[in-house]
Each structure stands twice: as structure tokens, then as C-alpha cells.
Amino acid sequence: MTYTILHRLALGLVTMWVVSPLVFASTEILPGDVAESILGKEAPAEVVAAMRERLGLDRPAYVRYWDWLSGLLVGDLGVSLASGREITELISDRLWNTVRLAAITAVISVPLAVILGLVSAMKAGTLLDRTISIGTLCVISVPEFFMAALLVFVFAVQLRWLPAMPILRPDQSFLSSMWSLALPILTLTFAVLAHMTLMTRNAVINVLSSAYIEMALLKGVPNYRIILFHAFPNALSPIINVIALNLAYLVAGVVIVETAFSYPGLARLMVDAVATRDIPLVQACGMIFSVTYVMLNLFADILSIVSNPRLRLSQ
């Protein structure tokens, strides 16, 4: 098993290495650069050229890539071109905000999805099952920016129950930050719920059709025990995978939610950085998102190996 895990880790590192030129190249093909975006369209050409030279943008792409990569390897993310600040310093607060939003959403949405999935599986084919399936599918089908606007309109503008704009202050208590994050959390929960619920439901139903479940049934094991102790553990592997995917989505795919709620997280920092063509900052955010994706998938792989005796003992 140790070998399998090490093998996966190595693969993860290779993936990261493959991702780095992709992140770099995709920022290279953005039209315009930071000098143009800071100086505006009125700036004379020689002023723009002088700024490019000062920022080192006139060097060939492969030189800049090598500089960037060698910095990355020693944990140096570089300096933001637009503000001249250390990127590590710019990112740390924002990353914490995004992780906090993702973590709270995960803590709420994962158990909720699993419970809804199990209930659906137990009551498969009933009205309740169909309501859960259709309900979760409906909320995932609404685009997030629209869902965000809709929730704000109903809960903040009309009913005035929840705040429309999350305001985070360092001195805030946990409860009050939860309160101000309520709508972004709800929007994100809606976005990830359907996947996990339906996967739990289908995986459990799948297992329910196997012979040993029939055996358990014939022995007279109660329904809830069959689901919780016989079927669910055997359905865990695909469920963990889909949960990991959705968690990765929570961290990396929150661009729209952070923008819609003007939430000061990493994704919005990245959007702002793209607008000012602050390439090192975009690259740093891009790499962090990639690392998160790879790490969570790796973690899911390892967890499903651990939870599955067949995989666990095969090596």
C-alpha cells in the first residue's frame, strides 16, 4: 500500500510539472500587458516601452518562464508587477478567506449530500427520492451568477434576513462571520450538492443489488443497518472521489461566486490580476488552484485505496 501511495504522490508531482508551462503559456497569450493596463490607452509608446523594460517584460518568454519556475521551486512566488508587493503577502489573506469559505461549505454540504443520498437510496423510487433528485438537479442547473443574484434578491433585498455582501473583519467572531457568509455558502452548496447526492444514491443502490445484500436481507437484517453497515462502506470509493472533485471545485471554481459577492478571496484576486495583466500574480493563483486540485484528487485516491480492502491488500 505504501508503494501505491508513493506512486500516486510521484504522479502528482509530475502533473504539477506538466501544469506549470500550461499556466505560464496561458497567461502569455493574454492580449496586452501590465504596462498598457497601468498607463492606459493615452500613454505615449516610449513611456510604455520604458515601463516594460523596468519590469523585465521585454525579455524572451523562455527566460521569464525559467526565472519563474526556479523561483517556484524554492517557494518564491515573486513580486506583483502592478503593486510591487510580495505575492506571498498579497495571497496569504486571500487564500485563507477562500479556504474558510470552502471549508464551511464543505462541512455543511458533504454531510447534507450524503444524508440526502442515503435517504434517496433507502426510499428509491418513492416521491421523496424523486423530489430530492429533481430538487438538487434544479439548483445545480441554475448558473451560479444567477443563483447568487436570485438569493440576494430574495433573502437580502426583499426579506432582509441575510446580508447581501459578506464583510469580513479580523476581529469578527466565528458566528458573525458565518452569518455574513450565509449567502455565498448557500450558493456554493447548491452548486455542489447534486453531484454528491446523486453519486451517493446511485452507488448505494448499485451495491444494494449485489448478492450479499440479498443474503443480509434474508437473514432479517433491518433496512437501515443494511444501508449504513453493509452497502454504504462498499459504496464509499466512488463517493469519496466525487466529494474530492467537488471540494476541489469549491476552492478552484469559486471565481463566479467570489465575484458575484465581491468576496475578498483568491479567485477574485486572480480576476483582478487578470484585469491589470499582473501576470506573476495570475500565475501564482493558477498554480495554487492546480496544486489544490491535484492534492485533493491524490487525497481521494489514497482514501479510496484505504477504504477498499481489495485495493488495500492487492500490493
Partner 1 sequence: MSHYKIKNEISRRQFGKVTLAASAGAYAIGTGLFSGVANADTPKKGGLVRIAMESSSPNDTLDPIAVTSNIDATRCFQLYNNLVRMGNGLRPEPSLAESWESNSKATKWTFNIRKGVEFHNGKPLTATDVVYSIKRHLGENTESRIKSYMAQIAEVKADGKYTVRIEISNPNAEFPILFSSARAGIIPEGHSDFENPVGTGPFKVKEFRPGIRSLFERNPNYWRSAMPYVDAVDTSSIPDPVARLNVLLAGEIEVANSLDAKSVPLIKLSPNVELIVAKGGQMVVNAMMLDRGPTDNKNFRLAMKYLQDRKRVVQGVYKGYAQIGNDHPIAPSDPMYCADIPVRAYDPDKAKFHLKQAGMEGAGIDIYTSTTAGPGNVEQSLTFQQSAAAAGVTVQVHQTPPEGYWSHTWQKYPIFGTHWNARPTADLMYSTTLLSTASSNETKYSNEKLDQLVTQARATLDEAKRKAIWCDLQLIVNEDGGYLTSCFVDYLHGRSSKLKGIEPHPMGGLSDQFSAETVWLES
Backbone angles phi, psi at 31, to 5 degrees: -70, 150
CA atoms within 13 A on the CB side of 63: 5
- Adjacent-strand bridge partners of 86: 79
* Burial (Cβ within 10 Å: 0-12, 13-18, ≥19) of residue 175: exposed
- Provide, rounded to whole angstroms, the least separation between the CB of residue 11 and partner 1: 34
- Are 241 and 300 in contact, with CB atoms under 8 Å apart? yes
- Provide, rounded to whole angstroms, the least separation between the CB of residue 293 and partner 1: 24
The binding site for partner 1 (CB under 8 A) comprises 30-32, 36, 38, 40-44, 80, 82-85, 90, 145, 148-149, 152-153, 156-157, 160, 163-165, 259-262, 264, 269, 271-273, 275-276, 278, 281
Nearer to partner 1, 192 or 273 (CB): 273
- Adjacent-strand bridge partners of 79: 86
- Provide, rounded to whole angstroms, the least separation between the CB of residue 176 and partner 1: 14
Nearer to partner 1, 44 or 220 (CB): 44
- Provide, rounded to whole angstroms, the least separation between the CB of residue 152 and partner 1: 5
- Are 90 and 281 in contact, with CB atoms under 8 Å apart? yes
- Provide, rounded to whole angstroms, the least separation between the CB of residue 122 and partner 1: 40
| Distant-in-sequence contacts of 220-226, Cβ < 8 A, 24+ apart | 223/122, 224/122
Nearer to partner 1, 227 or 281 (CB): 281
Nearer to partner 1, 160 or 219 (CB): 160
Q: Alpha-carbon distance 77 to 283, whole Å? A: 9
Nearer to partner 1, 28 or 214 (CB): 28
